[in-house]
């Protein structure tokens, strides 16, 4: 399953609405019709997307057996952005920018969920390392439910260097660490901000931690020691949103 494939009703609808020009072919399951799929096909036709019918077995093969809901889009390559796009991304922000930085998150389901949460919280973009981390894939797009088409994903070569550059651009860089002395509720998250989350199981790397302005922890009341990275990202992003609206 290539990075040039998007499947699932929500993900494909978002793609048509926000980037129809990138769709090379839209495949729909032959003989399969229901309300949401008919509405999607009408949207595709109005956007002049090329549509072809395929047997369910063919769609299953394209998606390596993943649940595609009868619709698969082949798209042109080159979805994520390089670090050179960060300058323009920040310049286009009309309010204090909010960025989510993921330090080596490798699970595509977690990356997709983080993109979805970032979209809901109004983040301007998500930054990930280019190596040893998940990038945009069909699985990521499916889990993101359209957020991969609205939230820019920026892949950088050197994350520590990027964090230094963000600080020079005036962003306050807040890292998360279970052992941090400060609670996230004690942190000021109202200005230009980059929230940095660690990888599953390992947390922030040393150089990443050293290039944060402050480290905060999420207060935990129950017996569970840690949260899934996408859940933790949601806690931080929505606390930032709450403070900005207060």
Same domain, 58 and 88: no
75, 100, 127 — which closes off a domain? 75
Same domain, 228 and 146: yes
- Mean pLDDT of all residues in the chain? 88
Residues 188-202: tens digit of each pLDDT: 999 999 999 998 788
Contact 127, 99 (CB under 8 A): yes
Q: How far from 166 is each of 37, 127, 163, 169, CA to CA, in Å?
A: 43, 11, 5, 5
Same domain, 87 and 133: yes
Query: How many domains is the chain partitioned into structurally?
Result: 2
Find the CATH number of the domain harbouring 65.
3.30.1330.30
pLDDT for 127 equals 96
25, 51, 75 — which closes off a domain? 75
Same domain, 131 and 240: yes
Q: Per-residue pLDDT averaged across 102-128, rounded?
A: 94
Task: Give Cβ neighbours of residue 140 (< 8 Å, ≥ 6 apart).
Answer: 108, 109, 111, 112, 115, 134, 148
Same domain, 190 and 167: yes
Task: Look at 15 and 168; give whichever has higher pLDDT.
Answer: 168
75, 106, 121 — which closes off a domain? 75
Same domain, 122 and 35: no
Find the CATH number of the domain harbouring 122.
3.40.1280.10
Same domain, 123 and 13: no
Same domain, 127 and 174: yes
Nearest Cα to Cα of residue 182 among 204, 212, 207, 214: 214
Range of the domain at 115: 81-245
Same domain, 117 and 229: yes
pLDDT for 108 equals 93
Residues 214-238: tens digit of each pLDDT: 999 999 887 777 889 999 999 999 9
């Amino acid at each position: 399953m290539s990075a040039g494939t998007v499947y699932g009703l929500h993900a494909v609808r978002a793609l048509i609405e926000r980037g129809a020009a990138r769709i090379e072919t839209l495949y729909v399951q032959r003989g399969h019709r229901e309300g949401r799929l008919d509405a999607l096909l009408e949207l595709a036709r109005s956007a002049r997307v090329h549509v072809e019918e395929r047997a369910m077995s063919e769609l299953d093969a394209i998606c390596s057996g993943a649940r595609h809901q009868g619709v698969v889009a082949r798209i042109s390559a080159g979805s994520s952005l390089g670090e050179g796009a960060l300058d323009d991304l920040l310049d286009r922000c009309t309010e204090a920018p909010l960025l989510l930085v993921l330090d080596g998150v490798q699970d595509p389901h977690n990356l997709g969920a983080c993109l979805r949460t970032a979209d809901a919280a109004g983040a301007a973009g998500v930054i990930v390392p280019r190596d040893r981390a998940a990038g945009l894939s069909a699985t990521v797009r499916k889990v993101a439910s359209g957020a991969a088409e609205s939230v820019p994903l920026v892949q950088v070569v050197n994350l520590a260097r990027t964090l230094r550059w963000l600080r020079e651009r005036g962003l306050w860089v807040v890292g998360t660490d279970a052992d941090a002395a400060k609670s996230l509720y004690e942190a000021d998250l109202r200005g230009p901000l980059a929230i940095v989350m660690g990888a599953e199981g390992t947390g922030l790397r040393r150089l990443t931690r050293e290039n944060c302005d402050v480290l905060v922890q999420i207060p935990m009341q129950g017996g569970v020691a840690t949260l899934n990275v996408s859940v933790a990202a949601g806690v931080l992003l929505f606390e930032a949103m709450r403070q900005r609206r207060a």
